[in-house]
Amino acid sequence: MPKSFKIILASGSPRRQQFFKELDLNFEIRLKEIDEVYPETLRAEEITNYIAREKARAFEGSLADDELLITSDTLVWLNDRALGKPKDYDDAVAMLQQLSGVTHEVITSVCFKTSASEALLFDKTKVTFASLDLEAIHYYLNRYQPFDKAGAYGIQDWIGLVGIAKIEGSYTNVVGLPTEKVYRFLTTHYLKIVVLLKG
C-alpha cells in the first residue's frame, strides 16, 4: 500500500490552486522564487521539464519524509520557438498577432518530488486560434491583463470564448495543469493521498 503524503503545491497560480481544490485534494501552498532560465539547446517539453524540475530542486533538503511537492511549468510552442510570459504590453500584442489564425501547442510539465524520489509527466494540447484583429487584441489585453500567462492569453478568458477555433487534447492543460494526468498519477502512485486527505 502506498505511503500517505502531505501535498505541497509550489505554485502561485490561482488557476492551478483552484484545480487542486476542485480535485478535492488537501494541500499546502509553499513558494520559492527561481530564475526561469534554461539552456538554449532545449526544445518544447524539454524546456518545461527542465523548469519544473528546477522549481522542485529549489526545495532540495527542505521536504519532510511525509511531504510530496508538486511543481509545474507551462509554455506555448509556436514555429519551433517558446512563447513564455510577455515582457510587456507590446510583447503581448506581438505574441497574439503571431498566434492569430494558426495552430500552436501548449505544453505543461509537472514534477512530483519527495525527500527520496522524483517523477515527471507532461502533456501537449494543440490550440488553433481564429483570426484576431488588432481591436480585439487591444480590448483583451486592456481588459484582462494576461501578462502572467504563457503566450499572453488565458483560454478561460474572453479570448477563449471568441478567439479559439479548435482544441485537440486537454483543455485544463491549456489553463495550466493537465488535471486528468495529474490525478491519475496520484491515484496510481500515491493512492492514500486521495483516500485519506479529502475533506
123 catalytic per annotation: no
Other Cβ atoms less than 10 A from the Cβ of 182: the count is: 24
Cα of 134 vs its chain's centroid, Å: 27
34 contacts 54 by C-beta, under 8 angstroms: yes
Residue 99 in contact with residue 118, Cβ under 8 Å?
no
Distance CA 38, CA 22 (A): 32
Instruction: Pull the grid cell for residue 81.
Output: 520557438
Please tell me which residue in 24, 35, 65, 73 is annotated as part of the active site. 73
Distances, alpha carbon 145 to alpha carbons 89, 149, 192, in Å: 9, 9, 39
As annotated, the active-site residues are 73
